[in-house]
Structure 1
Amino acid sequence: MKKVTGIGGIFFKSKDPKAATEWYQKHLGLDTNPYGATFAWYERPDSPQQAQTQWTPFPQDSGYFEKDYMINYRVENLEALVETLKNEGVTIVDAIETYSYGKFVHILDGEGNKVQLWQPID
């Protein structure tokens, strides 16, 4: 079983997320939306299956993650991976949540950093 298939998102804390989003749009040409920016790509060169990576600034005082950043990893089978990680002694922070765009769970890495796992619903 593949555990991680790519980077699902880069999230970072910002003093002014709206201004940060506007700066990146103006100066670096990011095609922004209310959530930041979404980068589309293909799973494999020969694949018609499009995937995405999300880029999002969060408010500096956000409690969604503790450090100044959080990485979201794309995975193929979140339920099976969570069971494997539990058996390996990895801390699972919360229950799997399902939204129209995918399933999510948070874990702690070996240094206690919060990591988000995402199984997209394509």
Structure 2
Amino acid sequence: MLNLRVDNLAAMLQAFDRSGIPYQTNPDWDDPAYGQFARLHDSEGNPIELWHPPTAADR
């Protein structure tokens, strides 16, 4: 799995929604100590995980 750090996961997911790009989220993946996560797959089916690390306000 390729893991990419993103600055604004919510904005990225909104862009995916507008473009029709499927992705997965799960509240069980998110943790204030570790951040928020979403997953999608590339055209060959390889998993890609997007990670938005927690901010000081989240801790």
Give me the TM-score of the superposition, normalised by structure 1. 0.39
Contact 2:25 2:37 in 1 (8 A): no
Any runs of at least 4 consecutive aligned residues in structure 1 with deviations exceeding 6 A, and if so which? none
Find the counterpart in structure 1 of residue 37 from structure 2: 104
Percent identity, aligned pairs only? 34
Task: Determine the structure 1 residue equivalent to 2:49.
Answer: 116
Contact 2:25 2:38 in 1 (8 A): yes
Larger radius of gyration: 1
Q: Greater helix percent: which structure?
A: 2
Aligned residues: 53
Q: Give 5+ residue unaligned stretches, structure 1.
A: 1-69
Which is bigger in relative contact order (C-alpha 8 A, separation at least 6)?
A: 2
Could you list the per-position Cα deviations for residues 27-71 of structure 1 after superposition, in whole angstroms to 9, with x for gaps in the alignment?
A: xxxxxxxxxxxxxxxxxxxxxxxxxxxxxxxxxxxxxxxxxxx11
Q: Give the unaligned 5+ runs of structure 2.
A: none
**What TM-score do the two structures reach when normalised by structure 2?**
0.72
Three-state SS of the structure 2 residue aligned to 1:82 is: helix
